[in-house]
Amino acid sequence: MQRRSVLRACGAVGVAGLAGCGSRGEVTDDEDDAGSASRTTAEGTPTTTAAPPTLVETTIGGRGDILWGGERRGERHLRVGETTVAVDGTIGAPNPCHTPTVDAVSYDDEADRLSLTVGVESGDTICTECIGDLPYTVTTTFEGGLPGRVVVDHAGVESPVADETDEE
């Protein structure tokens, strides 16, 4: 029976064919002026990856009338443009004389996530004592692409509300 010698030969050929496949080689990182990263392995094989998006600007504005009764409090809707991500939402306030603000904004390139915290700020005028819902639009502008995930928190209300939206 020659099966064992044939199997040994096939095993040796298979192992020889995979030699070096488990090795990562030495990798060096270089970044050019355009912002794309270039990697070169020890074998001299160059690879290029695009640089992550860069957050350029964030703005917030009101969207019209104050809403009463809390029916739309906490709503958030995402709109994605070519270079922008806009969030239309409604946040609760102690009274209608407050204005929506961006309390925090950050982009995590490793997680490919934009995080926004929307709050409210008291106005300088005397106001009626009733709860108001304030519509807002937060617009973020990016260069080099858009984030894959957007997380919006509403702060300054009874409890923060988080909303995660995956955009592919």
pLDDT tens string 113-128: 999 999 999 877 888 8
- Is the per-residue pLDDT at 107 higher than 80? yes
**Same domain membership, residue 140 and residue 79:** yes
Q: Tell me the three state secondary structure of residue 58.
A: strand
What global pTM score does this model have?
0.63
CB burial of 88-102 (b: ≥16 within 10 Å; e: otherwise) equals: ebbbbbebbbbebbe
Domain of residue 152 covers: 54-166
Q: What total of structural domains would you count in the chain? A: 2
37 and 63 part of one domain: no
pLDDT for 2 equals: 58
**64 and 100, same structural domain?**
yes
- Mean pLDDT, the chain, rounded, equals 74
Are 45 and 58 part of one and the same domain?
A: no
- Averaging pLDDT over each range in 15-19, 85-89, 126-130, which range is the top one? 85-89
pLDDT confidence of residue 128: 80
